[in-house]
């Protein structure tokens, strides 16, 4: 599917960093959704570069809906969102266009697109392309919340070794933590840790370097019985989307890699019945809300690693793509010393899109908005 995904919700992404428009077409949305533009714009704003811990390229990122929306409601036909690129400084890339940037897609794009790709600002590989994804994800998040009471949220669990506290295992506490994170610009649960991380990113910026980190995400109030065994497990579908987010290099569910350090008897989740809520639960949630690829009703817990931004100001070794000779690269342009605080919103967006697509598979109410 290349730049599209979804079995029920067909999302097609397009554009380049310095092209005229970037955007997304979302097909399969139910008719009759009144979009909450304040919510969508708030999510767009959180993805934006701000202050000294982000690139100095400031973009309006105004979303412009050109189809599928009529009299304030979705029509049920493809909804197209355009975002105009404004603050482009292509000149920054002319000088170094032949110098392959380490850990960027310059060389792989050259190999795949035979030199015809738009190299300016990373072209189609630019983080800019996550703006339309966030716009689409905001719509998905609104739908999931309004129709199913599903909440999705993430926080920066680690940033270059600095660790935040983890999301609570108590569902009502978790709910308020998610709401708090979704309202904040720099999503960290512990205020002091937040300041430490912020300061550390600034220091990385000062030395022309970059840092990464780990996001902890949670999906609360997930219905039971969603997903498929084998090739369409929830883990398969969500990891597919998470790994489409630039800089993501690892994804784990529940205990994840820590499962390797335990006996089965230590990490099996005992099954209990909650007499008050009249539902089956597990005493612990080491499996992160998923068994056999299918949701069990407990919160879905995901951890995603974001690598340090490859664009750094420090001088690097590379080659000239035409002469193949070794050259030094001094990256110019405007870059992020860290993107984890912005990637957080993109991760929430793809999770929302993935969950909505999964739910539509068996839930007619999601494709037919005013039937319940």
Binding flags for a second copy, 144-183, as an x/- string (CB under 8 A): ---xx---------xxxx----------------------
For residue 19, the tally of other CB atoms under 10 A from its CB is: 18
Cα separations in angstroms, 281 against 150, 224, 274, 296, 302: 17, 10, 7, 8, 19
Binder of a second copy out of 45, 58, 70, 91 (CB under 8 A) = 70
- Retrieve residue 26's tokens: 């979302």
Instruction: Give burial (CB, 10 Å; 0-12/13-18/19+) of 304.
Output: buried
Q: Which stretch binds a second copy (CB under 8 A): 49-57, 88-96, 172-180, 298-306?
A: 298-306
* Residues with Cβ within 8 Å of residue 39, at least 6 apart in sequence: 138, 141, 142
Taking the complex as a whole, how short is the minimal distance between the CB of residue 264 and a second copy, in angstroms? 4
Q: Which of 131, 139, 143, 358 lies at the binding interface for a second copy (CB under 8 A)?
A: 143
Residue 78 known to bind ligand? no
The yes or no reply on residue 267 touching a second copy (CB under 8 A) is yes
Judge whether 308 is annotated as a binding position: yes
- Is 186 a binding residue for a second copy by CB under 8 A? The answer is no
Instruction: Please give the Cα distance from 367 to 349 (Å, whole number).
Output: 19
Two tokens at 64? 């412009």
Q: Are the beta carbons of 189 and 167 closer than 8 angstroms?
A: yes
276 binds a second copy, rule: CB under 8 A = no
Stretch that binds a second copy, among 53-61, 89-97, 176-184, 301-309 (CB under 8 A): 301-309
Both tokens assigned to 115: 């030199």
Does the annotation list 307 as a binding residue?
yes
Among 38, 192, 230, 322, binds a second copy (CB under 8 A): 230
Q: Which residues contact residue 279 at a Cβ distance below 8 angstroms, ignoring those fewer than 6 apart? A: 224, 273, 297
Q: Judged by CB under 8 A, which of 98, 103, 145, 196 binds a second copy?
A: 103
Q: How far is the CB of 223 from a second copy (least distance, A)?
A: 9
Which residue in 191, 257, 276, 322 binds a second copy (CB under 8 A)?
257
Q: Which residues are annotated as a binding site for NADP(+)?
A: 47, 52
């Amino acid at each position: 599917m290349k730049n599209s995904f979804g079995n029920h919700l067909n999302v097609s992404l397009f554009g380049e960093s310095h092209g005229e428009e970037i955007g997304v077409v979302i097909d399969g949305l139910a008719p009759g959704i009144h979009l909450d533009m304040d919510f969508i714009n708030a999510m767009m704003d959180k993805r934006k570069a701000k202050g000294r811990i982000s690139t100095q390229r400031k973009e309006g990122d105004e979303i412009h809906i050109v189809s599928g929306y009529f009299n304030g409601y979705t029509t049920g036909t493809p909804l197209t969102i355009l975002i105009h690129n404004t603050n482009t400084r292509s000149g920054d890339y002319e000088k170094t266009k032949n110098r392959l940037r380490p850990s960027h897609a310059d060389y792989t794009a050259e190999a795949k697109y035979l030199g015809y790709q738009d190299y300016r600002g990373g072209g189609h590989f630019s983080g800019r392309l996550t703006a339309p994804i966030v716009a689409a994800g905001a719509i998905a998040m609104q739908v999931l919340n309004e129709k199913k009471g599903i909440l999705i949220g993430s926080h920066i669990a680690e940033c270059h070794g600095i660790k935040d506290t983890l999301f609570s295992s108590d569902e009502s506490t978790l709910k308020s933590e998610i709401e708090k994170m979704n309202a904040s610009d720099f999503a960290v649960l512990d205020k002091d840790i937040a300041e430490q991380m912020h300061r550390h990113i600034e220091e990385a910026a000062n030395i022309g370097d970059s840092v990464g980190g780990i996001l902890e995400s949670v999906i609360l109030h997930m219905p039971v019985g969603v997903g498929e065994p084998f090739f369409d497990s929830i883990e398969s579908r969500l990891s597919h989307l998470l790994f489409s987010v630039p800089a993501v290099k690892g994804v784990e569910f529940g205990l994840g890699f820590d499962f390797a350090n335990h006996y089965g008897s230590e990490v099996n989740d005992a099954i209990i019945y909650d007499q008050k809520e009249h539902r089956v639960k597990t005493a612990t949630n080491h499996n992160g809300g998923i068994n056999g690829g299918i949701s069990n009703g407990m919160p879905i817990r995901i951890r995603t690693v974001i690598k340090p931004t490859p664009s750094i100001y420090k001088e690097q070794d590379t080659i000239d793509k035409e002469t193949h000779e070794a050259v030094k690269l001094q990256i110019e342009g405007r870059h992020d010393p860290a993107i984890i605080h912005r990637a957080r919103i993109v991760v929430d967006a793809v999770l929302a899109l993935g969950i909505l697509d999964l739910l539509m598979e068996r839930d007619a109410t999601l494709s037919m908005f005013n039937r319940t």
